[in-house]
Structure 1
């Protein structure tokens, strides 16, 4: 399970800190689980699956497990990974995360660049502004996107987002990346 937990956490863009907060476990314990130094109990595995919004089987699944024909996540069934769903944060829009190469999210970015660090990861990223306006900071250039605008870029380019204007921005973000 150790390799699987780290894979799922990284694919979802969840830090150890966030996973610790959402699962009620310590960061050091989760790090040991990821490195194979600790094996979680069934209760701990259930908490981890809930915190990552995946089926517990995904934590133990083989890489070549059969993939369902499709993934359906109803609006009412969405679970926020970061945030409470009402303000800044994001929620994943698919199931069987470990078996998918495209990961769609709904993101409501914060109004300020809350983190000084820029995100960068393998693959590509596609943003579509559903509501509001968003500023994308690529370190050397900032791009302002309006409702209806789309942006596609190499995700290894350092980037971060923030909502600008009166209305909270809401984006559809699709990340494609190789297994890490």
Structure 2
């Protein structure tokens, strides 16, 4: 993500200060992202992508090439990845799908809300979803659809590491 954010920002002739103002993030935090010292949450990546006018999945992609179909093979996913974008090079996407492996603690992310909606589906394990003021337990096979403009976080709570399909969509109407 690091080189791509910096490259696109410079192509758009944006300074770190300008991007910080557009995303409501600090210049130092954006600098850490660009230098690979910090990995942003999906909500933060969505803010950056929106300001840079790119699909959020492209920020997580290793290759900036584009395609009309995307096949995501389980074998190609690193088990250590917290966020794995699905179809980051797909043209004209209106959704941003990810495989998420939440940790055992709610992420300490001050930017855990963003415009739009999300759908999560628990593929494996058990999670707690904290949405606004409510905490829900979701097991493998359970799903939740919610307004992502309200604060939301998730954490793995079971014996097995959780794996979640997350599909984010910005408001397009």
Do they fold alike, i.e. is TM over 0.5?
A: yes
What's the counterpart of residue 102 of structure 2?
A: 109
- Aligned equivalents of 2:62, 2:79: Cα separation in 1: 21
Q: 1:146 and 1:19, CA in 2 relative to 1: closer, same or farther beyond 3 A?
A: farther
Structure 1 residues not aligned, in runs of 5+: 24-30, 36-49, 59-67, 79-84
8 Å contact from structure 2 (residues 129, 153) kept in 1: yes
Using structure 2 for the length normalisation, give the TM-score.
0.63
What's the counterpart of residue 145 of structure 2?
A: 152
Considering only aligned residues, what root-mean-square deviation do their CA atoms show, in Å? 3.4
Match of 1:55 among 53, 63, 73: 63
**1:21 pairs with 2:36:** yes
Shift of 1:161: 0.7
**1:73 pairs with 2:81:** no
Structure 2 residues not aligned, in runs of 5+: 1-7, 24-28, 39-47, 53-57
Using structure 1 for the length normalisation, give the TM-score.
0.60
**1:122 pairs with 2:115:** yes
Match of 1:166 among 150, 155, 159: 159
1:76 is paired with a residue whose SS is helix
8 Å contact from structure 1 (residues 101, 178) kept in 2: no
2:35 is paired with a residue whose SS is helix
- Aligned equivalents of 1:4, 1:169: Cα separation in 2: 40
